[in-house]
Structure 1
Amino acid sequence: MHIGLIAGIGPAATDFYYRGLIERHVAAGTRLDLTMAHADVREMSRNLVAKNPSKQAEIFAGLVGRMKAAGAQAAAITSMGGHFCVNELMAISPLPILNAIPAVDASLAKGKFRKIGILGTRTVMETKLYGGIPSVEVVPTEALDLVHDNYVAMATVGHVTEAQRRVFFDAGRELCSRGAEAIMLGGTDLFLAFAGHEPGFPVIDCADIHVDAIYAKSAA
Protein backbone atom coordinates (compact mmCIF):
# COMPACT_ATOMS: atom_id res chain seq x y z
CA MET A 1 0.00 0.00 0.00
CA HIS A 2 1.17 3.51 -0.85
CA ILE A 3 1.47 5.37 2.46
CA GLY A 4 1.43 9.13 3.05
CA LEU A 5 3.22 10.62 6.06
CA ILE A 6 2.48 14.04 7.50
CA ALA A 7 6.07 14.97 8.33
CA GLY A 8 8.09 17.75 9.92
CA ILE A 9 6.48 17.70 13.40
CA GLY A 10 9.31 17.67 14.35
CA PRO A 11 12.26 16.84 12.09
CA ALA A 12 13.68 14.09 14.32
CA ALA A 13 10.27 12.41 14.54
CA THR A 14 10.06 12.34 10.75
CA ASP A 15 13.48 10.69 10.59
CA PHE A 16 12.39 8.12 13.19
CA TYR A 17 9.33 7.10 11.17
CA TYR A 18 11.13 7.16 7.82
CA ARG A 19 14.10 5.10 8.99
CA GLY A 20 11.83 2.72 10.88
CA LEU A 21 9.74 1.99 7.80
CA ILE A 22 12.81 1.59 5.60
CA GLU A 23 14.43 -0.83 8.06
CA ARG A 24 11.31 -2.96 8.34
CA HIS A 25 10.84 -3.18 4.57
CA VAL A 26 14.51 -3.98 3.96
CA ALA A 27 14.41 -6.74 6.59
CA ALA A 28 11.29 -8.21 4.97
CA GLY A 29 12.54 -7.78 1.41
CA THR A 30 9.49 -5.72 0.48
CA ARG A 31 9.13 -2.39 -1.28
CA LEU A 32 8.23 0.82 0.53
CA ASP A 33 5.86 3.05 -1.45
CA LEU A 34 5.80 6.39 0.36
CA THR A 35 4.96 10.08 -0.03
CA MET A 36 5.59 12.73 2.64
CA ALA A 37 4.16 16.23 3.03
CA HIS A 38 5.76 18.78 5.34
CA ALA A 39 3.84 20.38 8.22
CA ASP A 40 5.14 23.29 10.31
CA VAL A 41 5.88 22.15 13.88
CA ARG A 42 5.66 25.74 15.18
CA GLU A 43 2.22 26.23 13.64
CA MET A 44 1.04 22.94 15.10
CA SER A 45 2.40 23.88 18.53
CA ARG A 46 0.45 27.14 18.44
CA ASN A 47 -2.79 25.34 17.59
CA LEU A 48 -2.09 22.74 20.27
CA VAL A 49 -1.56 25.38 22.95
CA ALA A 50 -4.63 27.30 21.74
CA LYS A 51 -6.68 24.08 21.89
CA ASN A 52 -7.78 24.49 18.30
CA PRO A 53 -7.87 20.96 16.84
CA SER A 54 -10.26 21.91 14.03
CA LYS A 55 -7.82 24.44 12.59
CA GLN A 56 -4.95 21.97 12.69
CA ALA A 57 -7.11 19.23 11.19
CA GLU A 58 -7.87 21.49 8.22
CA ILE A 59 -4.13 22.05 7.71
CA PHE A 60 -3.41 18.34 7.90
CA ALA A 61 -6.32 17.51 5.58
CA GLY A 62 -4.82 19.80 2.94
CA LEU A 63 -1.53 17.91 3.19
CA VAL A 64 -3.34 14.57 2.97
CA GLY A 65 -5.08 15.82 -0.18
CA ARG A 66 -1.69 16.52 -1.75
CA MET A 67 -0.48 13.03 -0.86
CA LYS A 68 -3.66 11.48 -2.27
CA ALA A 69 -2.97 13.30 -5.54
CA ALA A 70 0.48 11.67 -5.50
CA GLY A 71 -1.08 8.23 -5.18
CA ALA A 72 -1.18 7.62 -1.43
CA GLN A 73 -3.95 5.31 -0.21
CA ALA A 74 -3.75 6.02 3.53
CA ALA A 75 -1.97 8.58 5.71
CA ALA A 76 -0.44 8.90 9.17
CA ILE A 77 0.61 11.73 11.49
CA THR A 78 4.26 11.28 12.52
CA SER A 79 3.72 12.82 15.95
CA MET A 80 1.92 11.76 19.10
CA GLY A 81 1.37 15.45 19.90
CA GLY A 82 -0.11 15.87 16.42
CA HIS A 83 -2.79 13.34 17.31
CA PHE A 84 -4.55 16.01 19.38
CA CYS A 85 -6.65 16.66 16.26
CA VAL A 86 -6.86 13.11 14.91
CA ASN A 87 -10.63 12.75 15.42
CA GLU A 88 -11.29 16.05 13.64
CA LEU A 89 -8.90 15.03 10.85
CA MET A 90 -10.50 11.61 10.37
CA ALA A 91 -13.86 13.33 9.87
CA ILE A 92 -12.60 15.45 6.94
CA SER A 93 -9.59 13.58 5.58
CA PRO A 94 -9.64 12.57 1.91
CA LEU A 95 -7.79 9.36 2.89
CA PRO A 96 -8.08 6.86 5.75
CA ILE A 97 -5.90 7.89 8.70
CA LEU A 98 -3.69 5.31 10.39
CA ASN A 99 -4.41 6.42 13.94
CA ALA A 100 -1.63 5.65 16.45
CA ILE A 101 -3.84 5.64 19.54
CA PRO A 102 -5.80 2.38 18.98
CA ALA A 103 -2.53 0.67 17.99
CA VAL A 104 -0.89 1.81 21.22
CA ASP A 105 -3.83 0.68 23.35
CA ALA A 106 -3.89 -2.73 21.64
CA SER A 107 -0.17 -3.14 22.32
CA LEU A 108 -0.57 -2.12 25.97
CA ALA A 109 -3.45 -4.58 26.38
CA LYS A 110 -1.12 -7.39 25.28
CA GLY A 111 1.73 -6.27 27.54
CA LYS A 112 2.67 -7.07 31.12
CA PHE A 113 2.30 -3.55 32.49
CA ARG A 114 -0.97 -2.42 34.04
CA LYS A 115 0.09 0.89 35.62
CA ILE A 116 2.19 3.36 33.63
CA GLY A 117 3.35 6.96 33.50
CA ILE A 118 3.39 9.16 30.38
CA LEU A 119 5.87 11.76 29.14
CA GLY A 120 5.15 14.09 26.22
CA THR A 121 3.31 17.33 25.57
CA ARG A 122 1.09 18.79 28.28
CA THR A 123 -2.02 17.71 26.37
CA VAL A 124 -0.80 14.12 25.98
CA MET A 125 0.00 13.90 29.69
CA GLU A 126 -3.15 15.65 30.94
CA THR A 127 -5.51 13.63 28.74
CA LYS A 128 -3.64 10.34 29.22
CA LEU A 129 -2.96 10.04 25.49
CA TYR A 130 -6.30 11.64 24.59
CA GLY A 131 -8.21 9.17 26.73
CA GLY A 132 -7.37 6.42 24.28
CA ILE A 133 -5.61 3.82 26.46
CA PRO A 134 -8.25 2.35 28.78
CA SER A 135 -6.33 -0.94 28.99
CA VAL A 136 -3.95 0.52 31.59
CA GLU A 137 -4.05 2.78 34.65
CA VAL A 138 -2.09 6.02 34.20
CA VAL A 139 -0.19 7.69 37.05
CA PRO A 140 -0.64 11.49 36.69
CA THR A 141 2.49 13.45 35.79
CA GLU A 142 3.20 16.14 38.40
CA ALA A 143 5.94 17.98 36.44
CA LEU A 144 3.61 18.85 33.54
CA ASP A 145 4.98 22.27 32.65
CA LEU A 146 8.63 21.31 33.04
CA VAL A 147 8.32 18.19 30.89
CA HIS A 148 6.16 19.97 28.30
CA ASP A 149 8.46 22.96 27.91
CA ASN A 150 11.58 20.82 27.58
CA TYR A 151 9.86 18.42 25.20
CA VAL A 152 8.63 21.17 22.86
CA ALA A 153 12.06 22.85 22.87
CA MET A 154 13.72 19.55 21.98
CA ALA A 155 11.19 18.59 19.30
CA THR A 156 11.35 21.96 17.56
CA VAL A 157 15.09 21.74 16.86
CA GLY A 158 15.42 17.94 16.70
CA HIS A 159 18.23 17.82 19.26
CA VAL A 160 18.36 16.96 22.98
CA THR A 161 20.56 18.57 25.61
CA GLU A 162 21.85 16.80 28.71
CA ALA A 163 19.72 19.11 30.85
CA GLN A 164 16.60 18.09 28.91
CA ARG A 165 17.50 14.42 29.22
CA ARG A 166 17.78 14.83 33.00
CA VAL A 167 14.32 16.41 33.12
CA PHE A 168 12.76 13.44 31.33
CA PHE A 169 14.66 10.81 33.32
CA ASP A 170 13.90 12.52 36.65
CA ALA A 171 10.20 12.79 35.75
CA GLY A 172 10.13 9.11 34.81
CA ARG A 173 11.77 8.06 38.07
CA GLU A 174 9.33 10.19 40.04
CA LEU A 175 6.38 8.52 38.31
CA CYS A 176 7.82 5.10 39.07
CA SER A 177 8.24 6.08 42.73
CA ARG A 178 4.46 6.65 42.77
CA GLY A 179 3.61 3.26 41.34
CA ALA A 180 4.20 3.37 37.57
CA GLU A 181 5.59 0.05 36.34
CA ALA A 182 6.86 1.59 33.09
CA ILE A 183 7.06 4.97 31.37
CA MET A 184 5.37 5.48 28.03
CA LEU A 185 7.09 7.85 25.64
CA GLY A 186 4.02 9.78 24.54
CA GLY A 187 6.12 12.22 22.51
CA THR A 188 7.63 10.92 19.28
CA ASP A 189 10.87 12.87 19.65
CA LEU A 190 11.62 11.43 23.09
CA PHE A 191 13.73 8.74 21.42
CA LEU A 192 16.37 11.47 21.15
CA ALA A 193 16.72 11.45 24.93
CA PHE A 194 16.25 7.73 25.56
CA ALA A 195 17.94 5.87 22.67
CA GLY A 196 21.24 4.38 23.79
CA HIS A 197 20.72 5.41 27.43
CA GLU A 198 19.54 3.48 30.49
CA PRO A 199 17.03 5.61 32.43
CA GLY A 200 16.58 3.10 35.22
CA PHE A 201 13.01 2.12 34.37
CA PRO A 202 11.16 0.20 31.62
CA VAL A 203 10.16 2.27 28.57
CA ILE A 204 7.26 1.85 26.13
CA ASP A 205 7.72 3.80 22.88
CA CYS A 206 4.41 4.91 21.28
CA ALA A 207 6.12 5.95 18.07
CA ASP A 208 7.71 2.54 17.57
CA ILE A 209 4.31 0.89 18.05
CA HIS A 210 2.84 3.28 15.48
CA VAL A 211 5.62 2.56 12.98
CA ASP A 212 4.89 -1.15 13.34
CA ALA A 213 1.20 -0.51 12.60
CA ILE A 214 2.02 1.64 9.56
CA TYR A 215 4.45 -0.99 8.30
CA ALA A 216 1.76 -3.67 8.54
CA LYS A 217 -0.42 -1.59 6.21
CA SER A 218 2.39 -0.51 3.89
CA ALA A 219 3.50 -4.09 3.40
CA ALA A 220 -0.02 -5.24 2.48
Structure 2
Amino acid sequence: MKKLGLIGGIGPESTLLYYRKLVYAAHERIGEHFFPNLTIESLNVFEVFRFCQAKEYDGLTAYLMTGINNLIAAGAEIVALTGNTPHIVFGELRAQSCVPLISIVEATRQEALRRTVNRIGLLGTRFTMEADFFKEPLRDVGIDVIAPTAPEIDYIADKIASELERGIVKDETRTRFLAIVERMRGEHGIDALVLGCTELPLLLNGTPLPLQTLDTMEIHIDALLEASLR
Protein backbone atom coordinates (compact mmCIF):
# COMPACT_ATOMS: atom_id res chain seq x y z
CA MET A 1 0.00 0.00 0.00
CA LYS A 2 1.40 3.40 -0.99
CA LYS A 3 1.99 5.83 1.87
CA LEU A 4 -0.76 8.44 2.22
CA GLY A 5 -0.25 12.06 3.20
CA LEU A 6 -3.18 14.14 4.44
CA ILE A 7 -3.43 17.90 4.65
CA GLY A 8 -5.45 18.06 7.85
CA GLY A 9 -6.71 20.73 10.19
CA ILE A 10 -9.12 21.99 7.53
CA GLY A 11 -10.86 21.38 9.88
CA PRO A 12 -9.66 19.38 12.87
CA GLU A 13 -12.87 17.41 13.43
CA SER A 14 -12.95 16.03 9.90
CA THR A 15 -9.23 15.21 10.12
CA LEU A 16 -9.98 12.93 13.07
CA LEU A 17 -12.69 11.20 11.05
CA TYR A 18 -10.46 10.84 7.99
CA TYR A 19 -7.73 9.23 10.09
CA ARG A 20 -10.02 6.81 11.87
CA LYS A 21 -11.99 5.81 8.78
CA LEU A 22 -8.91 5.40 6.59
CA VAL A 23 -7.03 3.33 9.13
CA TYR A 24 -9.86 0.90 9.80
CA ALA A 25 -11.01 0.69 6.17
CA ALA A 26 -7.46 -0.28 5.14
CA HIS A 27 -7.38 -2.75 8.04
CA GLU A 28 -10.57 -4.41 6.77
CA ARG A 29 -9.39 -4.58 3.17
CA ILE A 30 -5.85 -5.81 3.73
CA GLY A 31 -5.94 -7.96 6.82
CA GLU A 32 -6.21 -8.46 10.53
CA HIS A 33 -2.61 -7.50 11.28
CA PHE A 34 -2.39 -4.40 9.07
CA PHE A 35 -2.72 -0.68 9.76
CA PRO A 36 -1.50 1.82 7.14
CA ASN A 37 1.48 4.11 7.39
CA LEU A 38 0.31 7.69 6.84
CA THR A 39 1.35 11.23 7.72
CA ILE A 40 -0.87 14.22 8.57
CA GLU A 41 0.22 17.83 8.09
CA SER A 42 -2.22 19.92 10.12
CA LEU A 43 -2.87 23.42 8.77
CA ASN A 44 -5.16 26.22 9.97
CA VAL A 45 -8.64 26.20 8.44
CA PHE A 46 -9.13 29.86 9.35
CA GLU A 47 -6.07 30.78 7.27
CA VAL A 48 -7.69 28.92 4.36
CA PHE A 49 -10.90 30.92 4.90
CA ARG A 50 -8.93 34.17 5.09
CA PHE A 51 -7.18 33.52 1.78
CA CYS A 52 -10.49 32.60 0.14
CA GLN A 53 -12.32 35.61 1.55
CA ALA A 54 -9.62 37.92 0.15
CA LYS A 55 -9.43 35.92 -3.11
CA GLU A 56 -5.69 35.56 -2.48
CA TYR A 57 -5.49 32.31 -4.40
CA ASP A 58 -1.75 32.49 -5.04
CA GLY A 59 -1.23 32.84 -1.28
CA LEU A 60 -3.57 29.92 -0.63
CA THR A 61 -1.73 27.78 -3.16
CA ALA A 62 1.62 28.61 -1.57
CA TYR A 63 0.26 27.91 1.92
CA LEU A 64 -1.09 24.51 0.92
CA MET A 65 1.96 23.61 -1.16
CA THR A 66 4.18 24.12 1.88
CA GLY A 67 2.12 21.48 3.65
CA ILE A 68 2.10 19.17 0.63
CA ASN A 69 5.86 19.41 0.26
CA ASN A 70 6.27 18.59 3.95
CA LEU A 71 4.21 15.45 3.38
CA ILE A 72 6.30 14.51 0.36
CA ALA A 73 9.46 15.02 2.41
CA ALA A 74 7.97 12.61 4.96
CA GLY A 75 7.62 9.96 2.27
CA ALA A 76 4.00 10.42 1.16
CA GLU A 77 3.36 8.85 -2.26
CA ILE A 78 -0.25 10.07 -2.54
CA VAL A 79 -1.63 13.27 -1.00
CA ALA A 80 -5.15 14.51 -0.28
CA LEU A 81 -6.76 17.60 1.22
CA THR A 82 -9.23 16.75 4.00
CA GLY A 83 -11.50 19.69 3.15
CA ASN A 84 -13.58 20.70 0.15
CA THR A 85 -12.89 24.45 0.29
CA PRO A 86 -9.13 24.31 -0.49
CA HIS A 87 -9.99 22.44 -3.70
CA ILE A 88 -10.69 25.92 -5.06
CA VAL A 89 -6.97 25.88 -6.08
CA PHE A 90 -6.71 22.14 -6.70
CA GLY A 91 -5.60 22.55 -10.32
CA GLU A 92 -2.65 24.70 -9.28
CA LEU A 93 -1.70 22.30 -6.51
CA ARG A 94 -1.83 19.29 -8.82
CA ALA A 95 0.37 21.08 -11.35
CA GLN A 96 3.00 21.84 -8.70
CA SER A 97 2.99 18.52 -6.84
CA CYS A 98 5.48 15.80 -7.73
CA VAL A 99 3.17 13.09 -6.32
CA PRO A 100 -0.47 12.37 -7.24
CA LEU A 101 -3.20 14.39 -5.52
CA ILE A 102 -6.62 12.76 -5.17
CA SER A 103 -9.49 15.21 -5.69
CA ILE A 104 -12.59 15.12 -3.51
CA VAL A 105 -14.51 16.92 -6.28
CA GLU A 106 -13.57 14.41 -8.97
CA ALA A 107 -14.37 11.48 -6.70
CA THR A 108 -17.79 12.98 -5.86
CA ARG A 109 -18.54 13.58 -9.54
CA GLN A 110 -17.74 9.95 -10.31
CA GLU A 111 -20.03 8.76 -7.53
CA ALA A 112 -22.83 11.07 -8.69
CA LEU A 113 -22.54 9.59 -12.18
CA ARG A 114 -22.56 6.08 -10.77
CA ARG A 115 -25.78 6.83 -8.92
CA THR A 116 -27.29 8.54 -11.99
CA VAL A 117 -28.50 11.57 -10.05
CA ASN A 118 -29.86 14.50 -12.06
CA ARG A 119 -30.14 17.49 -9.75
CA ILE A 120 -27.99 17.98 -6.66
CA GLY A 121 -28.32 20.33 -3.72
CA LEU A 122 -24.92 21.58 -2.54
CA LEU A 123 -24.14 22.43 1.08
CA GLY A 124 -20.72 23.57 2.25
CA THR A 125 -18.73 26.61 3.24
CA ARG A 126 -19.60 29.93 1.64
CA PHE A 127 -16.75 29.48 -0.85
CA THR A 128 -17.90 26.01 -1.87
CA MET A 129 -21.51 27.11 -2.31
CA GLU A 130 -20.75 30.38 -4.13
CA ALA A 131 -17.71 29.53 -6.29
CA ASP A 132 -17.75 27.29 -9.35
CA PHE A 133 -14.91 24.86 -8.56
CA PHE A 134 -17.36 22.23 -7.23
CA LYS A 135 -20.33 23.06 -9.46
CA GLU A 136 -18.69 23.14 -12.89
CA PRO A 137 -17.32 19.57 -12.91
CA LEU A 138 -20.83 18.30 -12.13
CA ARG A 139 -22.54 20.56 -14.64
CA ASP A 140 -20.03 19.50 -17.28
CA VAL A 141 -21.42 15.95 -17.08
CA GLY A 142 -25.06 17.08 -17.17
CA ILE A 143 -25.87 17.25 -13.45
CA ASP A 144 -27.73 20.35 -12.25
CA VAL A 145 -26.36 21.90 -9.06
CA ILE A 146 -28.60 23.96 -6.77
CA ALA A 147 -27.12 26.15 -4.04
CA PRO A 148 -29.11 27.60 -1.12
CA THR A 149 -30.40 31.18 -1.15
CA ALA A 150 -28.10 34.03 -0.08
CA PRO A 151 -29.55 34.24 3.48
CA GLU A 152 -29.30 30.45 3.81
CA ILE A 153 -25.67 30.57 2.63
CA ASP A 154 -24.96 33.19 5.31
CA TYR A 155 -26.50 30.94 7.97
CA ILE A 156 -24.77 27.74 6.82
CA ALA A 157 -21.38 29.43 6.48
CA ASP A 158 -21.64 30.96 9.94
CA LYS A 159 -22.60 27.68 11.59
CA ILE A 160 -19.78 25.79 9.89
CA ALA A 161 -17.19 28.36 11.01
CA SER A 162 -18.52 29.08 14.50
CA GLU A 163 -19.76 25.60 15.49
CA LEU A 164 -18.81 22.62 13.34
CA GLU A 165 -15.16 23.62 12.78
CA ARG A 166 -14.88 23.73 16.59
CA GLY A 167 -16.66 20.39 17.14
CA ILE A 168 -19.88 22.00 18.38
CA VAL A 169 -23.10 20.25 17.30
CA LYS A 170 -26.48 21.79 18.18
CA ASP A 171 -29.95 20.36 17.64
CA GLU A 172 -31.35 23.73 16.56
CA THR A 173 -28.67 24.03 13.88
CA ARG A 174 -29.50 20.56 12.58
CA THR A 175 -33.20 21.45 12.47
CA ARG A 176 -32.52 24.58 10.42
CA PHE A 177 -30.22 22.73 8.01
CA LEU A 178 -32.90 20.09 7.46
CA ALA A 179 -35.47 22.82 6.76
CA ILE A 180 -33.14 24.28 4.12
CA VAL A 181 -32.75 20.85 2.49
CA GLU A 182 -36.51 20.32 2.51
CA ARG A 183 -37.09 23.73 0.88
CA MET A 184 -34.54 22.94 -1.85
CA ARG A 185 -36.20 19.60 -2.49
CA GLY A 186 -39.67 21.13 -2.64
CA GLU A 187 -38.78 24.15 -4.78
CA HIS A 188 -36.06 22.73 -7.04
CA GLY A 189 -36.71 18.99 -7.11
CA ILE A 190 -33.21 17.98 -6.02
CA ASP A 191 -32.79 14.21 -5.96
CA ALA A 192 -29.53 14.12 -3.98
CA LEU A 193 -27.68 16.22 -1.42
CA VAL A 194 -23.92 16.79 -1.46
CA LEU A 195 -22.36 17.25 1.97
CA GLY A 196 -19.72 19.55 0.49
CA CYS A 197 -18.00 20.29 3.78
CA THR A 198 -16.24 17.47 5.58
CA GLU A 199 -17.60 18.73 8.92
CA LEU A 200 -21.24 18.34 7.83
CA PRO A 201 -21.35 14.61 8.68
CA LEU A 202 -20.89 15.64 12.33
CA LEU A 203 -24.26 17.37 12.09
CA LEU A 204 -26.22 15.24 9.63
CA ASN A 205 -24.95 11.64 9.68
CA GLY A 206 -27.42 9.43 11.46
CA THR A 207 -30.24 11.89 10.70
CA PRO A 208 -32.97 10.61 8.36
CA LEU A 209 -32.94 12.71 5.19
CA PRO A 210 -35.68 12.81 2.53
CA LEU A 211 -33.25 12.07 -0.32
CA GLN A 212 -29.97 10.28 -1.00
CA THR A 213 -26.79 11.87 0.32
CA LEU A 214 -23.32 12.09 -1.17
CA ASP A 215 -20.95 12.37 1.78
CA THR A 216 -17.82 13.81 0.16
CA MET A 217 -15.57 12.58 2.96
CA GLU A 218 -16.72 8.95 2.66
CA ILE A 219 -16.44 9.11 -1.12
CA HIS A 220 -12.96 10.65 -0.89
CA ILE A 221 -11.75 8.02 1.55
CA ASP A 222 -12.85 5.24 -0.82
CA ALA A 223 -11.01 6.95 -3.68
CA LEU A 224 -7.88 7.32 -1.54
CA LEU A 225 -7.88 3.66 -0.63
CA GLU A 226 -8.35 2.61 -4.26
CA ALA A 227 -5.47 4.85 -5.35
CA SER A 228 -3.15 3.70 -2.58
CA LEU A 229 -3.82 0.02 -3.27
CA ARG A 230 -3.38 0.22 -7.07
What TM-score does the superposition give when structure 2 sets the normalisation length?
Answer: 0.89
8 Å contact 1:117–1:180 — kept in the other structure? yes
Structure 1 residue 126 corresponds to structure 2 residue 130: yes
8 Å contact 1:64–1:95 — kept in the other structure? no
CA deviation profile, 1:148-170 (whole Å, cap 9, x unmatched): 11122233202222222123211
How many pairs were matched up?
220
- Could you tell me how far apart the structure 2 residues matched to 1:5 and 1:212 are? 14
CA deviation profile, 1:19-73 (whole Å, cap 9, x unmatched): 1111211111254121110101111111121122221111111111111111111
- Could you tell me how far apart the structure 1 residues matched to 2:4 and 2:172 are? 36
Aligned equivalent of 1:113 = 117
In 2 relative to 1, CA 102–50 (structure 1 residues): closer, same or farther, beyond 3 Å?
A: same
Q: For 2:137, what is the secondary structure of its paired residue? A: coil
RMSD (Å), alpha carbons:
1.6
- Could you tell me how far apart the structure 1 residues matched to 2:168 and 2:56 are? 27
Aligned equivalent of 1:171 = 180
CA deviation profile, 1:56-107 (whole Å, cap 9, x unmatched): 1111111111111111112100001121121221222243211111111111
- Could you tell me how far apart the structure 2 residues matched to 1:108 and 1:199 are? 17
Letter paired with 2:218: D
In 2 relative to 1, CA 66–33 (structure 1 residues): closer, same or farther, beyond 3 Å?
A: same
Letter paired with 1:21: L
Which of 189, 198, 201 is 2:211 aligned to? 201
Question: Which stretches in structure 2 are left out of the alignment for 5+ residues?
Answer: none
Which of 188, 192, 213 is 2:223 aligned to? 213
Q: What stretches of structure 1 move > 4 A for 4+ residues in a row? A: none
Aligned equivalent of 2:163 = 154
Letter paired with 2:200: L
Aligned equivalent of 1:3 = 4
In 2 relative to 1, CA 31–218 (structure 1 residues): closer, same or farther, beyond 3 Å?
A: farther
Structure 1 residue 12 corresponds to structure 2 residue 13: yes
Q: For 2:176, what is the secondary structure of its paired residue? A: helix
Structure 1 residue 104 corresponds to structure 2 residue 108: yes
In 2 relative to 1, CA 130–116 (structure 1 residues): closer, same or farther, beyond 3 Å?
A: closer
- Report deviation, 1:120: 0.5
What TM-score does the superposition give when structure 1 sets the normalisation length?
Answer: 0.93
Question: Which stretches in structure 1 are left out of the alignment for 5+ residues?
Answer: none
Q: For 2:10, what is the secondary structure of its paired residue? A: coil
Bigger CA drift: 34-43 or 193-202? 193-202
Aligned equivalent of 1:47 = 51
